[in-house]
Amino acid sequence: MAVPVFGYKNHLNIDRTHGIKRRFDVTHAAAFDGRRLGRILDFENTASVVWADSAYRTCANLELLARKAMRPAFQYPAPGGRPMPAHIERGNRTRRAVRCLVEHVFAAIKGRFRFRVRSVDLARAEARIALVDLACNLTRLVFWEMRTHRRSLPGSRGLRLEGPAKRGRRDGSRTETHVSPPH
């Protein structure tokens, strides 16, 4: 059966603190997100809260999480044609603050890696996405290793920035940031 789609989806299980991808699943763009939760969950993970968007809020997923003693923290969908109740909006705002950390990983894949999938075969797309996910994990690992190493040096305060931050000025010129080692 041919499925009319344009693109692929990368479903991820990400460590919230470090941004490391634990598991992934690649599907065509027309696939329903809610059916993929069982494939990407890591039941050996010690975290008991699962953060996801409203597409994952299905009866089957809620039952799966209850059986595994996990607590869902899914977004609530907006009611059709009516304003969102205030208490649900507050809860969604709290969930959004956590989920933005996950969206940061997707932004890194699209922005920093400039990754686009241009293949017609799902297996090829899955292989390419797996390699980019691995490269993204390696960059996160290097980031955390450097951060840990910098803090562990005796008397180290890390790198200091000298001068203004690199940003555009109103007249169109740019300023540069200079990095110097700690004294």
What pLDDT digit, counting tens, does each position of 145-178 carry?
888 877 665 655 554 444 444 444 455 544 443 3
User: For residue 95, is it within any domain?
Assistant: yes
Structure tokens at 127: 């292989």
What pLDDT digit, counting tens, does each position of 66-83 carry?
998 899 988 888 888 888
Chain position carrying tokens 């992934």: 24
Counted domains in the chain = 1
- Residue among 10, 5, 40 at smallest CA distance from 115: 10
Q: Which domain holds residue 14?
A: 8-150
Exposed e or buried b for every residue in 73-89, given b needs 16+ CB within 10 A? ebbeeeeeeeeeeeeee
User: For residue 117, is it within any domain?
Assistant: yes
User: For residue 171, is it within any domain?
Assistant: no
User: For residue 155, is it within any domain?
Assistant: no
Structure tokens at 131: 């390699």
- The contacts found for 40-43 with CB under 8 angstroms, 24 or more apart, are 40/11, 40/12, 40/13, 41/13, 41/68, 41/70, 42/13, 43/68
User: For residue 165, is it within any domain?
Assistant: no
Q: Concatenated DSSP letters for 81-116?
A: TSPPPHHHHHHHHHHHHHHHHHHHHHHHHHTTS---
Q: What pTM, to 2 d.p., does this model score?
A: 0.66
User: For residue 164, is it within any domain?
Assistant: no
Q: What is the mean pLDDT of residues 45-49?
A: 80
User: For residue 3, is it within any domain?
Assistant: no
User: For residue 45, is it within any domain?
Assistant: yes
What pLDDT digit, counting tens, does each position of 26-41 carry?
888 888 888 888 888 8
